[in-house]
Chain A
Amino acid sequence: MPFVDTQLVLFDEDYRKVLGVCERLARDAHSKGVFVVDKNGQLMAEAGDLRGLDTTSLASLTAGCIAATGGLAKIIGEEEFPIHFHQGQRDNLHMTVVAKRIILVVIFDERSSLGLVRLRVKKAGAELARVFEEIQKKSERARNGATSPFAEITDDDIDKLFAD
């Protein structure tokens, strides 16, 4: 089964590793915010000074954007466009596809530069790829083993969600 289609399980220790990479990148790239988003639109980690941002929407739209341009890439014979840059009047958005499954999003303004962001993202992306290789292995083990929180739920637990 391809990596993209497997269920993803994120354990505490892996989350801390992902967060560590994000925090370092946010600092080193002088960015306003860094986000790690699953290609299916789930937010996995965030770092930086951005407050009050609708991160759920950000994650969903990031995934939609990468999916749409990925479709465009295939039309012209490319596998994917792994790097995206959107320039705004005040803030800019840099997106990179990591390990074919994860999107690394960096938001920055005039206190940083595209060159610096690219440089730092390259290093952080390589680190994240290694972390996600581990996460994938653990996800597969969790899917096949008893570590899933769903292994022991009952029909009753599910029914209770819809009680009202």
Chain B
Amino acid sequence: MSFINYASREINCKVVYYGPGLCGKTTNLQFIYAKTNPDLKGKMISLATETERTLFFDFLPLALGQIRGFKTRFHLYTVPGQVFYDASRKLILKGVDGVVFVADSQMERMEANIESLDNLRVNLGEQGYDLAKVPYVIQYNKRDLPNAASLEEMQRLLNPSGAPEYEACATVGKGVFETLKAVAKGVLTDLKKMAR
């Protein structure tokens, strides 16, 4: 959960990028890291296998600016997408303030998207969170590929509740910052609601 530090006048929030294996979670973070002013970012950590598949998590600390004299810092994490790393995914979701679900637009990955989204729902539930109440954004990645499913199909299968959604091509950065801004805004709006 968020951490408000009056001593350093900082608010720290945790955002987790979730989704099936090879959907582009790490690519999202890599793009954000590459395009962010060095003063606003910390070191990006990737705990990955030798073949660059995420083993435990990627981590990127970002500073967004000030609100009422408090520095807002976001800690971005990715989970390992491969099915058998479920224990690790559960650990990374602990204390989450906002979630981005990165869906792979390729038609043949639709089943993996559905399975991963179900897994997110279950793992959040185990921590006492409800996906419908957590600040949540869905990103349809790899829209540039020829075998991409139609947007309507993806909305129908993955976003029937109408959560904020963005089309993306994370390798070139399309939609990456839009997604990040939307989830950050959701987290801050949620904190505001909690404070009332």
Of the candidates B11, B45, B65, B192, which one forms a contact with A60 in the assembled complex, judged by CB atoms under 8 Å apart? B45
Interface size in chain A (residues, C-beta < 8 A): 43
Asked if residues A57 and B43 are in contact (CB atoms below 8 Å), the reply is yes
Binds A, one of B18-26, B86-94, B105-113, B158-166: B86-94
A8 to chain B, nearest CB (A): 5
Q: Which A residues are CB-close (under 8 A) to B94?
A: 4, 39-40, 67
Asked if residues A8 and B1 are in contact (CB atoms below 8 Å), the reply is yes
Q: Which A residues are CB-close (under 8 A) to B4?
A: 7-10, 142, 148-149
Q: Which A residues are CB-close (under 8 A) to B127?
A: 5
Is A161 part of the binding interface, using a Cβ–Cβ cutoff of 8 Å? yes
Asked if residues A61 and B7 are in contact (CB atoms below 8 Å), the reply is no
Binds B, one of A26-34, A80-88, A105-113, A152-160: A152-160
Q: What is the interface of chain B mostly: helix, strand, loop, or mixed?
A: mixed
Asked if residues B67 and A61 are in contact (CB atoms below 8 Å), the reply is no
> Given A150-B192, A158-B188, A54 and B87 touching (CB < 8 A)?
no
Is B83 part of the binding interface, using a Cβ–Cβ cutoff of 8 Å? no
> Which A residues are closer than 8 A to B by beta carbons?
1, 4-12, 15-16, 38-42, 44, 54, 56-57, 60-61, 64, 67-68, 70-71, 142-143, 146, 148-153, 155, 157-158, 160-162
A-B contact pairs, 10 of them (CB 8 A): A5-B95, A5-B128, A9-B3, A15-B8, A42-B75, A56-B42, A60-B61, A150-B194, A151-B195, A158-B189
